[in-house]
Amino acid sequence: MTATTVDAVPDVATTATRTRPAPAPTPFRRVLRVELRKMFDTRSGFWLMASIVILSVIATGATIIFGDRDTLSFEDFAAAIGSPMSIVLPIIGVLAVTSEWSQRTALTTFTLVPHRSRVLGAKLVNTLAIGAVSMFVALGVGALGNLLTAVISGSDTQWDISLGAFSQIVLANELGMLLGFALGLLFRSSPAAIVGYFVMNLVLPGLSGALGAAQEWWADNSGWFDPNESRFLLFDGGLGGQEWAQLAVTSALWIALPLLIGTRLVLRSEVK
């Protein structure tokens, strides 16, 4: 009896699996586009974005109606519009992150784009871009208000905001958006992050002022610890060398550090 050798039949499925090329990663431009659309495609997101224009128009109209038209200048309109922008824009920064968890889309997002850092990077770029565009929209609305005031009062228009001063106003609002973004990463909850932002911007300045009134050492050095003291000076354009250094220190302490911690938590946490 002759022994017959039978060659092993290759496993077609295994071979196909081994030779199957890895899919190309999703282009970052597409991730940017999708994340930008997600910031607008919900009803709350749309009206939050629309509120930028709406509040700018309301603030401009209120300035024209209640202000002294003979002395109004472009700076007055910028100050009036800057107040609601400093509230709305950080909330956009918060919701850019927390909407993934409040709408329970984080699992889908990170499954389609496994590299979470690319998703977070796209969210951050879109947040900063929206902040810059919003300030230019607000500037345009304020400019129209300034021209309308000159027509109504018959006086000359006063363009008393320089490019440097406007750049500092944009920087102040971008820092506020970064703070909201960092808090969103830390808490991953819209109510908690929004409350945390308002505590830092409304409660802490009062506590810092009270402590400075009681303790002279804090009054002399609060600018190195209070994140609002030097950032608010950006709206007035009155920063010197020491104030810029204080802004850098407080931004690193209250924005960069929470941003790094929050990013690490998102990258390493289990998404359900």
Number of folded domains that form the chain? 1
CA pair distance 222, 193, nearest whole angstrom: 24
Contact 146, 157 (CB under 8 A): yes
Does 47 fall in a domain? yes
The two tokens of residue 172 are 């102040």
Question: Residue 264's pLDDT band (boundaries 50, 70, 90)?
Answer: very high
**In a domain? residue 15:** no
Task: Convert the pLDDT of each residue in 41-85 to its tens digit.
Answer: 878 788 888 888 898 899 888 888 888 877 788 888 888 888 788
Q: Within a domain: residue 253?
A: yes
Residue-wise pLDDT for 74-115, tens only, equals 888 888 888 788 888 899 999 999 988 887 888 888 888 888
**Which tokens in the block code for residue 259?**
């941003």
| Average confidence score pLDDT of the chain | 84
C-alpha dist (Å) from residue 86 to 62, 79, 169, 259: 18, 11, 10, 19
Residue 240 lies in a domain: yes
What is the span of the domain harbouring residue 241? 29-266
Residue 244 in any domain: the answer is: yes
- Answer whether residue 16 is part of any domain: no
| Residue 11: per-residue pLDDT | 52
pLDDT at 1: 46
> What would the pLDDT profile of 196-254 be if each residue is shown by its tens digit?
999 988 888 888 888 888 888 887 888 888 888 888 888 776 678 888 898 999 999 99
For residue 203, what are the CA distances in angstroms to 70, 74, 197, 210?
Answer: 37, 30, 10, 11
Identity at 114, one-letter amino acid code? P
Whether 130 is covered by a domain: the verdict is: yes
d(CA 110, CA 254): 27
pLDDT-derived band of residue 174, with 50, 70 and 90 as boundaries?
Answer: very high
Neighbours of 222 (CB within 10 A): 20
6 belongs to a structural domain = no
C-alpha to C-alpha distances, 212 to 10, 92, 206, nearest whole angstrom? 79, 32, 10
